[in-house]
Amino acid sequence: MHARSLVVPAIATAVAAGYWVTSLQAQAPSKAGPAAPSANFDQLIDRNSATMLGEGRQIFRYDTFGSEAFWGDALRLHEAIMGQGLGGVGAGVTPRQALQLGLKVDATALPPAVVEGIKNGTVSLDKPETTVELLKLNAVVGVTGIFDRDKQKMRSMGIQCALCHSTVDDSFSAGIGRRLDGWPNRDLNVGAIVATAPSLKPFVDLLGVDEAAVRTVLKSWGPGKYDAELDQDGKAMRPDGKSAATLLPAAFGLAGVNLHTYTGWGSVPYWNAYVANTQMHGQGTFFDPRLKNSQQFPVAVKGSFHDVRGKPDLISSKLAALHYYQLSIPAPKPPAGSFDASAAARGKAVFEGKARCASCHVPPLFTEPGWGMHTPEEMGIDDFQANRSPDKRYRTTPLRGLFTRMKGGFYHDGRFADLSAVVAHYEKTLALPLTAAEKADLIEYLKSL
């Protein structure tokens, strides 16, 4: 005890002295130029950090990147939402139906009168009018209605990153609550939503199939899934006839992680530019010569997607802040009581020891620092999705916040229904000698991440 209490102040003094020396050196006037205003530059960094975070959040939640030219103007999705009664087509989409399709409502965007109205039933969740009102309030997560100047008629709509990568905490009711950015929306049925569009002509032209075929593909995705490579390679189905869509991944806990997407297409800003230009159909600049490969990416070659130069560019100036915000989103911690803590502690030892999980899922990132990519053979799975990417491998998925993606299964396409199926797969592939108790502990550990 005594020895320790003497040592600590000694270290503190040494550190302080060292600091004093370096700060003196920093302040010494340099002959080469004016004295560097280091304190001011520190403040500048802090201010920049706060600005980038705020701007990035705004972009992630509300920026359409000009995608209304596609979702509204070309597909006319807003007309399907409004329905005939409001000057659109068909029956329209009620809030109840929108919630069933997995769309989420940001409760903090609702004025008290609307909140009251929903509670006492005077604001009906069974009328498309209410959906349009919610869009006017900018309360539908990831969807922005574009209204004419007097805010009467919806004339188009665009989408945001938050559509697929945010959900809500259900604090008001199911599907209505505070935003949870970065949490994948595993309820969202992107394909079913797009399939309601009055026109699918852009997909028909690009993929060279008829409208009925496009609708079949869209409906094959199901909740929590989307296919971010379909408009590059035109592969709608796997060889076994199942959908080629992948699960919506987490967009939190990504700081320190080098490669992104299930197949490691590139860094976060790489992928953000890819998605904003080629998937959300915003207007900007995107360059990737790897797509100029007619064997692997025939549709990309047809559309020249390896070199996109939209003008004016509504995307590139937003990539820095968007990147910054995404890296700032921490992986959420699972709620207390959602796992057995003592079993999880034992499971940690199994994960890091006998089961060899930590050789790839390296804590605390739970992916490999470096180039965390593995061949289909190493993973003991087929190569279909890997072969749709430039490097033809699977990236080690960062595992933190696993509890937010319990719906839809595990691995890129959700092929393993639950964690015990994942562990059983590794047991076989890695020939692990695990006891039933060790497997159970390992699962509790995964739930605790």
Residues in contact with ligand HEC by the rule CB under 6 A? 159, 161, 163-165, 190, 226, 228-229, 246, 248-249, 251, 254, 260-263, 268, 271-272, 275-276, 280, 322, 326, 355-357, 359-361, 374, 378-379, 381, 394-397, 399, 405, 410-412, 422-423, 426, 442, 446
Three-state DSSP at 246 gives strand
Closest to ligand HEC by CB, 114 or 268: 268
Q: Which residues neighbour 115 within 8 Å (Cβ) at sequence distance 6 or greater? A: 107, 172
Smallest distance from the beta carbon of 276 to ligand HEC, in angstroms? 4
Smallest distance from the beta carbon of 6 to ligand HEC, in angstroms? 45
Closest to ligand HEC by CB, 76 or 361: 361
Smallest distance from the beta carbon of 424 to ligand HEC, in angstroms? 10
Closest to ligand HEC by CB, 172 or 445: 445
Three-state DSSP at 54 gives helix
Contact 433, 414 (CB under 8 A): no
Smallest distance from the beta carbon of 188 to ligand HEC, in angstroms? 8
Closest to ligand HEC by CB, 76 or 393: 393
Q: Both tokens of residue 396? A: 């080690």
Q: Both tokens of residue 385? A: 């999705």
Q: Both tokens of residue 156? A: 């188009």
**Residue 286, strand partner residues:** 308
Contact 71, 77 (CB under 8 A): yes
From residue 336, alpha-carbon distances to 250, 437, 447 in Å are 21, 22, 11
Smallest distance from the beta carbon of 311 to ligand HEC, in angstroms? 19
Closest CA to 317 of 94, 119, 66: 66
Closest to ligand HEC by CB, 117 or 390: 390
Alpha-helical segments (H) within 305-355? 319-328, 341-352
Smallest distance from the beta carbon of 89 to ligand HEC, in angstroms? 23
312 upstream amide cis, omega within 30 of 0: yes
Within 13 Å and on the Cβ side, how many CA atoms surround 138? 11
Smallest distance from the beta carbon of 90 to ligand HEC, in angstroms? 22
Q: Both tokens of residue 287? A: 């360059």
Closest to ligand HEC by CB, 70 or 262: 262
Taking each helix axis as running N to C, give the angle between helix 38-62 and helix 319-328, from 0 to 180 degrees, rounded to the nearest 10: 90
Closest to ligand HEC by CB, 92 or 142: 142
Contacts 24+ apart (CB under 8 A), 371-377: 371/258, 371/259, 371/264, 372/258, 372/259, 372/264, 372/396, 373/259, 373/264
Smallest distance from the beta carbon of 182 to ligand HEC, in angstroms? 9
| C-alpha span between 392 and 388 (Å, rounded) | 7
Smallest distance from the beta carbon of 423 to ligand HEC, in angstroms? 6
Closest to ligand HEC by CB, 125 or 197: 197
Closest CA to 398 of 219, 253, 288: 253
Smallest distance from the beta carbon of 85 to ligand HEC, in angstroms? 28
Three-state DSSP at 144 gives strand
In the block, tokens 């199901």 appear at 222
Smallest distance from the beta carbon of 230 to ligand HEC, in angstroms? 10
Taking each helix axis as running N to C, give the angle between helix 436-448 and helix 419-429, from 0 to 180 degrees, rounded to the nearest 10: 120
Strand-pair category, 307-309 with 285-287: antiparallel
Closest to ligand HEC by CB, 123 or 168: 168
Closest to ligand HEC by CB, 123 or 251: 251
Closest to ligand HEC by CB, 130 or 166: 166
Q: Tell me the torsion sign for CA atoms 19, 25, 27, 33.
A: negative
